[in-house]
Amino acid sequence: MEETKHCNLDYLKSHSPNNPKFIVEIIQMFLEQTPAFVTKVNKCLLEEDWDGLYGNVHKIRPSIDLIGMQKEFGIEAKQIEEYCKERKNLDLVPEMIHRLEKELEEAYKELKTELLINHS
C-alpha cells in the first residue's frame, strides 16, 4: 500500500532547475510560516475576524501551490477567501479551515522529513 503524498515538489523543482538551495529555502520558509499561520487563522476564526482570516489565507495560498499540495486545497483556500471577503457562507468556513489545517500539518511533516533526508 502506497502512502499518500501531501506535497509534490516537481512544480518547485521545475521553476528552479539546478538550484537545490532555492528549494531548501522555500521548504524552510513553509516550515517556518505554517505554525504561525495555523495560530493566526484559529485566532481570527475564534474572533470572527473575517478580514484577518481572508488576509492570512491569501498569504498562504502561493505556498500551497509552490509545495505542490493537491489542487483541491488551493481551490478551497480561494473559496475561504471569497466567503470571508463577501461575508457569505461563513458557517462553512470553520470546517474548510479545519480541512486545510490538517492538510498543511501533513505537508509540514512530509517536508520536514524531506528536508532532513535530502538536504541535511
Domains along the chain?
A: 10-113 (1.20.120.160)
pLDDT at 119: 59
Tens digits of residue pLDDT in 35-79: 999 999 999 999 999 999 999 999 999 999 889 999 999 999 999
Name the strand (E) or helix (H) holding 28.
helix 20-46
Per-residue model confidence (pLDDT) at position 9: 87
Query: So what's the pLDDT on residue 2?
Result: 54
Quick one: pLDDT at residue 10? 87
Give the separation between CA 98 and CA 38, rounded to whole angstroms.
10
Instruction: Give the global pTM.
Output: 0.88
Residues in the chain: 120
Question: Does position 102 have pLDDT exceeding 90, yes or no?
Answer: yes
